[in-house]
A = this chain, B = another copy of it.
């Protein structure tokens, strides 16, 4: 409840136009947190420009459709992540205008967010990391940012990464995706000044432990300046990158 609203209510009590009991009811009835926290929530949407995404795994088909439709109706946009190809067609058929990216496993519906003019780069170590990298890239594009893709620049072919460095320096944030030894983000963080969002992938086998090895490499990076997200979490990387890009310039305002 905003202070002005509260002041007005109290004034009405003082003026006798509202009884103490009615005021009490109004205050008690307004689930205090509800009022306040829901407002916070609206703030969050207004400021970040991001309605909640729908996680496409582990939901029953009917639940997923209902949630997607509700989300689309509420915000005019829909972003479904980790949506398996075999489920995508059926869902898209029920959502007019939906677009599905099979490599990124991302479904979007409605108009993309307006262009921000900001620039992100997404780098990936190997071909097998492309799914996760594209999830990040597709989401960042959907959020309105320009995305430079530089894939297959893993540490075993160092020159390919070094070639990409000038391009990476133009980006306000770099999403670095790698499985197996997960060394790429560290290397990137040592070569550029932008913040690096590190995404381990489950690519690999044996002691890769489905991404754990890559994750630990990133958390123990000798070069500081990177933040790590969950294994295979391209979407989470995109949201963090979006927040970084979005707040750029905000604090410079008078």
Chain A interface (Cβ < 8 Å from any Cβ of B): 1-3, 6-7, 10-11, 13-14, 16, 19-21, 23-24, 27-28, 30-41, 43-44, 47-48, 52-53, 55, 57-60, 63, 67, 82, 103, 117-119, 125-128, 130, 154-159, 162-163, 165-166, 172-173, 180-183, 186-187, 189-198, 200, 202-233, 235-236, 239-240, 242-252
The interface residues of chain A, by DSSP majority, are classed as helix
- Docked complex Cα distance between A137 and B171 (Å): 27
Instruction: List the number of copies, as a whole number.
Output: 8
Distance in Å from the Cβ of A240 to the closest Cβ of chain B?
5
Q: Is the CB of A33 within 8 A of B165?
A: yes
- Docked complex Cα distance between A172 and B215 (Å): 26
- Docked complex Cα distance between A202 and B207 (Å): 10
- Docked complex Cα distance between A192 and B156 (Å): 11
Name the one of B21, B47, B162, B193 contacting A32, with C-beta atoms under 8 angstroms: B162
Question: With A3-B28, A6-B24 as given contacts, are A236 and B211 in contact (CB-CB < 8 Å)?
Answer: no
- Docked complex Cα distance between A214 and B206 (Å): 11
- Docked complex Cα distance between A42 and B95 (Å): 48
Q: Is the CB of B207 within 8 A of A216?
A: yes
- Docked complex Cα distance between A165 and B39 (Å): 12
Distance in Å from the Cβ of A204 to the closest Cβ of chain B?
6
Distance in Å from the Cβ of A199 to the closest Cβ of chain B?
10
Q: Is the CB of A31 within 8 A of B219?
A: no
- Docked complex Cα distance between A62 and B180 (Å): 22
Question: With A35-B31, A41-B159 as given contacts, are A224 and B239 in contact (CB-CB < 8 Å)?
Answer: yes
Q: Is the CB of A34 within 8 A of B33?
A: yes
- Docked complex Cα distance between A28 and B31 (Å): 12
